[in-house]
Amino acid sequence: MIQDHLRSLTSSPGVYRMLNAASEVLYVGKARNLKARVTSYARPSGHSARIARMIHETCSMMFLTTRTEVEALLLEQNLIKQLKPRYNVLMRDDKSFPNILIGKDHAFPQIKKHRGAKKEKGSYFGPFASAGAVNRTLNQLQRVFLLRNCSDAMFESRTRPCLQYQIKRCSAPCVGKISEAGYGDLVADAERFLNGKSTSVQADLAKAMAGASEAMEFERAAALRDRIKALTAVQSAQGINPASVAEADVVALHLDHGQACVQVFFIRANQSWGNRDFYPRTGSGAEEPEILEAFLTQFYDDKDPPRLILLSHAVENPDLVAEALTARAGRKVELAVPQRGEKAELVENAARNARESLARRMAEGATQTKLLAGLAEAFDLDAPPQRIEVYDNAHIQGADAVGGMVVSGPEGFVKSQYRKFNIRSAAGANSDDFGMMREVLTRRFERLLKEDPGRTSDTWPDLLLIDGGAGQVSAVTGILTEMGVDEIPVIGVAKGIDRDAGKEEFHRPGAPPFALQRNDPVLYFVQRLRDEAHRWANGAHRAKRARAVGATPLDEVPGVGAARKRALLAHFGSAKAVSRAALPDLMAVDGISEAMAETVYNFFHRD
């Protein structure tokens, strides 16, 4: 079959797909020369075990030609992310990373954490490895540079300094405690520090402190001393600060028994801004160069690459990857595999972290495998479940009702697969737990049946855990039967005697309830699953309740955004007063036109 395709193929670059008998995509590959690459698959021998298995399963192929090899590389990675072929390396965690943003659209700029597209006007510094790393750095920067972190709306409404000023973490520009020029100097110092010029900032502060001391301005000198101490704390908290590397990502891979861990360290302005570990799927036995190349192209698909990327292993096509990342960044990006010096030490440090992280994960995975096998034995399942979905509801007497779903598998909790469901039906208002569970499961499985009617993907659960007893289990099995998915096992976890942890009873359709021994590891495992679902549902409920507390009827008026809402509330004092206002009174509000006043008036007087 592969040889037959050679007759019609050209020597242009492009992307090919290999499919099995069920038309499932097994592999997506790129080629500088499609005909030459496919010819290599037509050889009867000389393949690795992985490639030989893939060729054996291939029943058909598809081809797409491109103008350049870079286009082929980018198209290949897009198709891999979309199709998730079994034999490709796939990066499974592509969350965005937080940055620090100093705004430029206000006379007194705000400093804050930012995640996502860089649409706001301002200076961005990052990426940081985690929100925690950003929060710690922001906390210290506020002590050093006294920049505000409040929203513009809060800034405009202040009439006296807030607590941040009292504890010396803000210069209180909102009430005129500092001039615009003075605040601008603080902003410039903060940007110098975040650009790696911390030594000059510290020298300037020390000089100012000495001047204040000579002028016998001891209170000001003490404040500058505190800022210097805080700046020193920030510098020491940055961890490894390489002298010879101003901007780079350090990417190290460790591979062991077909499992991989990639550690990425972010270095900006000669400072280490944290690290993150990733565990890409290795495509049934790929080697280091292929894994690292696939990781780089997928990782930087929606992120700006730095000027230098230090690697633990050479990739298969370094020139091609560098060209693609250069096009992505709009400036030159260099790949390097350092052999000596400080850069090599940075890579070795990242590789050691990758090795240790993978060892911990493999140990945890072995424990998880034993627990899943024990779960299958305890609940008489056909095989250890690969995907467990746990459901719970949260509400207060029907108010702000939310359903939650958490997912667990061979590698533990899969947080990217968690879902929350805002209860839309009357079941929420009526505090009807059965009705809420019906709505959640109906929405969940309707979507599954629509997206994957053949049930071929790994998004279908092997086991459902429900927080509840025989009644909930009966209701759930009835729902699944109606939808034609009644083959999925369902287990209800009910509080036992005195609702005491450790005395849980387990309910299955058509079987009497039973309990596990108090010291059974499977019992602790199920408790963790149930508690995680409870935590997730309660968190979603609290967030929904908090939003409801701050909501007003004005939020529902068409055309009334944040600015008009503030203007109306400032003028009338409350949403209730706005609802009672006459049309001329509404027109008297700044920013409210005659047409908008009529819209607001008609909204509250629809009857």
Q: Are residues 149 and 229 in the same domain?
A: yes
Average the pLDDT over 47-62 and give the result.
Answer: 91
Residue 396 pLDDT > 50: yes
- 436 and 401 Cβ atoms separated by less than 8 Å: yes
Closest among 434, 490, 440 to 465, alpha carbons compared = 490
DSSP 3-state of 602? helix
Q: Which residue has the higher pLDDT, 167 or 310?
A: 310
Q: What six digits make up the tokens of 54?
A: 């893939």
Q: At what angle do helices 218-237 and 131-145 cross, to 10 degrees?
A: 160
Of the candidate ranges 222-226, 408-412, 525-529, the one whose mean pLDDT is the lowest: 222-226
Residue 606 pLDDT > 80: no
pLDDT at position 239 is 45
pLDDT in tens, 31-45: 999 999 999 999 888
Q: Are residues 429 and 470 in the same domain?
A: yes
Q: Are residues 402 and 511 in the same domain?
A: yes
Q: Among the ranges 45-54, 60-69, 209-218, which has the highest mean pLDDT value? A: 60-69
351 lies in some domain: yes
Q: Are residues 412 and 500 in the same domain?
A: yes
Q: Are residues 349 and 413 in the same domain?
A: no
DSSP per-residue codes, 384-432: --S-EEEEEEEEETTEEEEEEEEEEETTEE-GGG-EEEE--SHHHHTT-
**Pairing assessment for the beta strands 25-31 and 14-19 based on DSSP bridges:** antiparallel
Rg over alpha carbons for the chain, rounded to the nearest Å, is 30
Domain final residue, candidates 193, 209, 237? 237
Q: Which residue has the higher pLDDT, 206 or 390?
A: 390
Q: Are residues 138 and 23 in the same domain?
A: no
pLDDT at position 532 is 93
Average the pLDDT over 556-560 and give the result.
Answer: 83
pLDDT at position 211 is 83
C-alpha 63/C-alpha 242 separation (Å) is 46
Average the pLDDT over 104-114 and give the result.
Answer: 90
Closest among 101, 104, 72, 79 to 18, alpha carbons compared = 79
DSSP 499: G
CATH number at residue 77: 3.40.1440.10
C-alpha 95/C-alpha 125 separation (Å) is 18
CATH number at residue 282: 3.30.420.340
Q: Among the ranges 89-93, 223-227, 473-477, which has the highest mean pLDDT value? A: 473-477
541 lies in some domain: no
287 lies in some domain: yes
- 172 and 161 Cβ atoms separated by less than 8 Å: yes
Residue 133 pLDDT > 50: yes
Burial class (CB in 10 A: 0-12, 13-18, 19+), 12: middle
pLDDT in tens, 499-511: 555 678 899 988 8
293 lies in some domain: yes
Q: Which domain holds residue 133?
A: 104-237
Q: Looking at the 3D structure of the chain, how many domains does it have? A: 5
**Pairing assessment for the beta strands 334-336 and 259-268 based on DSSP bridges:** unpaired
Specify the pTM. Answer: 0.69
Q: Are residues 458 and 518 in the same domain?
A: yes
Q: Are residues 396 and 333 in the same domain?
A: no
Domain final residue, candidates 87, 112, 134? 87
435 lies in some domain: yes
Q: What six digits make up the tokens of 379?
A: 């609940």
Average the pLDDT over 93-98 and give the result.
Answer: 74
C-alpha 265/C-alpha 325 separation (Å) is 18
Q: State the DSSP H helix or E strand holding residue 114, giving kind and residue range, or none if neither.
A: strand 111-114
pLDDT at position 500 is 57
Residue 7 pLDDT > 80: yes
pLDDT at position 280 is 92
Average the pLDDT over 410-417 and give the result.
Answer: 88
pLDDT band at 198 (very low <50, low <70, confident <90, very high): low
Residue 169 pLDDT > 50: yes
pLDDT band at 93 (very low <50, low <70, confident <90, very high): low
Identify residue 308 by its one-letter amino acid code.
L
Q: What six digits make up the tokens of 17?
A: 């797909």
Residue 530 pLDDT > 60: yes
489 lies in some domain: yes
381 lies in some domain: no
Average the pLDDT over 248-269 and give the result.
Answer: 91
C-alpha 32/C-alpha 14 separation (Å) is 7
Burial class (CB in 10 A: 0-12, 13-18, 19+), 225: middle
Beta-carbon contacts of residue 491 (< 8 Å; ≥ 6 apart): 379, 463, 464, 465, 466, 473, 506, 507, 508
C-alpha 222/C-alpha 272 separation (Å) is 30
What are phi and psi for residue 29, nearest 5 degrees? -135, 160
Residue 543 pLDDT > 90: no
pLDDT band at 237 (very low <50, low <70, confident <90, very high): very low
Q: Are residues 47 and 129 in the same domain?
A: no
Average the pLDDT over 361-374 and give the result.
Answer: 87
112 lies in some domain: yes
Q: Are residues 75 and 121 in the same domain?
A: no
Of the candidate ranges 355-359, 410-414, 424-428, the one whose mean pLDDT is the lowest: 424-428
Q: Are residues 429 and 522 in the same domain?
A: yes
Of the candidate ranges 25-29, 142-146, 181-185, the one whose mean pLDDT is the lowest: 142-146
Mean pLDDT, rounded, of the chain = 86
Q: Are residues 131 and 28 in the same domain?
A: no
